[in-house]
Structure 1
Amino acid sequence: MSKKDPISLFHRAGHGRSSEDVALQIEAAILSGELSPGEGLPSERELQDIFGTSRGVVREALRALKEKGLLEIRKGAKGGAFVKQMEVARVSESLALFLKTNNFAPERLIEFRESMDRTVTVLAIARGSAEAKSALVDGAERLAGLAMAESPDMHALGELDRELNLQLVRLADNPIFEWVMGAVQSGFSSYDYALYEEPAYRAATVANWVETARSIAEGEPQKALSSIGHHYVLLRRCVRDLGPESLPANELLVEGDAGRYTTGPESQKAG
């Protein structure tokens, strides 16, 4: 079943919080690689014997690990508890939920996004393929075309802006940045983006997107970083000009790179 006999992986559970002890031992074996994704655990009866506990304790421990996303429970003749491959979407969703339920001031989120974007941009220039960079430029130019329409489709603008951010982070070829960016994008899902609501900010934002994409494609890190910095100057100015009283209740202005953010009590206090 595993690289080691289960008896050598685990020891009898302590008294008191037995289910927690069982769960911690199994979790440790998964995180250490002793139990691999797709690998099945011993049956509930075997786990009872190994840990010296009741079936109820074992089931409670397995249920807790399932809720954490570490195990999946399969039914049927070949069923049982199996180590689950951690999904990127689940990681991003958890971080998105954390961001949604904690009311961060706008400046804290903007500061975080700017520092991440600067690192991602440098990596994108160094690692991205010519084809992917060209696609980023094409997308930015398409964004500019949408923004210059007489009556811009705000939903389409928001979706394309979101996709451009994901394209950019994929150029960096680092899955951790991609997970975090995905969480930020889904965590502040809103299509009426602050920077696109006012014509002047909208024009400046899309022009800056095009400049950023072209600088990345041309391998010009200083120009690209200058454009990133300018984007956040626009964003901070936009937040200041709008003021918290102009934002929908319970939404925190967080960036989706030209994005509109959701603001909560802390951000309103920070105004």
Structure 2
Amino acid sequence: MADCDIRDGSPGIQPERAAAAVARLIEAMILEGSLRPGDALLAERELAARLNVSRPTLRDGLKLLEEKGLLTPAGRGLQIAPLGMQAIGDPLLALLADHGELADDCLEFRDIVESEAAALAARRASDTDLAHIRACLSRIDAAHDAGDPALEAEVDAALHLAIYEASHNLVLLHIMRALSVSLRNDVVQNRNRLFTRPDTREAMRAQHHRIGAAILARDPAAAQAAAHDHLDWLRHTTREIRDAEARRQVAERRRQGPDLTNGKGGAT
């Protein structure tokens, strides 16, 4: 957290006003995504020094945030509450996630959202956002070269979240952050399925680089097209693999069928 100057001891600044200013600052940082669910705040003495307020004023400001449910206790300190997670963790969503046949719907949803997010990122990304996207692409290359599927899945999901951040649409960012666990699981499942085919790892790396390059070039149309092509490829390829697996299972059941009968013909 960068040093901030609220100065509750300045002439004319009442402690309760300074406490409210502390609360507003942290609220703003939560809203813009600078502070994320689960982030632990600094120890009281250090946080008060960073904000240039007294420790009693800091406590009052943090108490306001606890009362709003934005902060929760964590050990001997406080952390950002798991905002949005409870709603996104609705049992219906868990039910949807448990049904593999809905994977196509999930990818269709991601296509709609991520294509537009990529276009927004190309228009709105700050230099810091672009540096983060470059770093994600470098991590994707490193994980690919290391042949580490788990790390590849992790950095894949990290790139998509970096694009949401760079879109600077706060509603979109917080919804997709709340869905980040589902997104990560979706990425892992898709990769496990896709890696049964040769050359898919290289294809996915190339697709991610195409999305990133378009955003770095600040080309919204190219970024939107690249994101759409990536998700459309995922949908069609996973559907083909799923259909092939279903046909294999049918053939296997037909082969096993005679072993489950007494050898006598059915009624005529």
TM tier, shorter chain?
0.5 to 0.7
Give the Å deviation of 1:200: 1.5
Q: Quick one: distance in 2 between partners of 1:237 and 1:156? A: 24
Q: Quick check: 2:137–2:209 contact (8 Å CA) kept in 1? A: yes
Give the TM-score, by structure 1 length.
0.53
Choose the corresponding residue for 2:87, options 94, 102, 105: 94
Q: Quick one: distance in 2 between partners of 1:238 and 1:162? A: 19
Q: Deviations over 1:196-220 (max 9, x none)?
A: 6244121111111011111101111
Q: Deviations over 1:53-108 (max 9, x none)?
A: xxxxxxxxxxxxxxxxxxxxxxxxx9xx9443387733134314442223472222
- What amino acid sits opposite 1:90 in the alignment? L
Give the Å deviation of 1:173: 1.5
Q: Quick one: distance in 2 between partners of 1:189 and 1:90? A: 18
Q: Quick check: 1:148–1:203 contact (8 Å CA) kept in 2? A: no
Show structure 1 runs of 4+ deviating over 3 A. Answer: 85-88, 188-193, 244-247
Q: Quick check: 2:115–2:225 contact (8 Å CA) kept in 1? A: no
Q: Quick check: 2:121–2:166 contact (8 Å CA) kept in 1? A: yes
* Higher mean C-alpha displacement, 212-221 vs 198-207: 198-207
The unaligned stretches of length 5 or more in structure 2 are 1-22, 25-62, 72-79, 247-268
Indicate whether 1:85 and 2:84 are aligned. Answer: no
2:157 matched to which residue of 1? 162
Q: Deviations over 1:212-237 (max 9, x none)?
A: 11110111112112211210222012
Q: Quick one: distance in 2 between partners of 1:199 and 1:89? A: 39
**Aligned residue runs from structure 1 range 168-187, under 5 A:** 168-187=163-182
Q: Quick one: distance in 1 between partners of 2:202 and 2:87? A: 34
Identity, in percent, stands at: 18
SS in 2 for 1:105: helix
Q: Quick one: distance in 2 between partners of 1:188 and 1:208? A: 18
2:116 matched to which residue of 1? 119
1:229 matched to which residue of 2? 228
The unaligned stretches of length 5 or more in structure 1 are 1-36, 39-77, 248-271
Alignment RMSD, CA only?
3.1
SS in 2 for 1:90: coil
1:218 matched to which residue of 2? 217
SS in 1 for 2:206: helix
* Count, aligned residues: 168
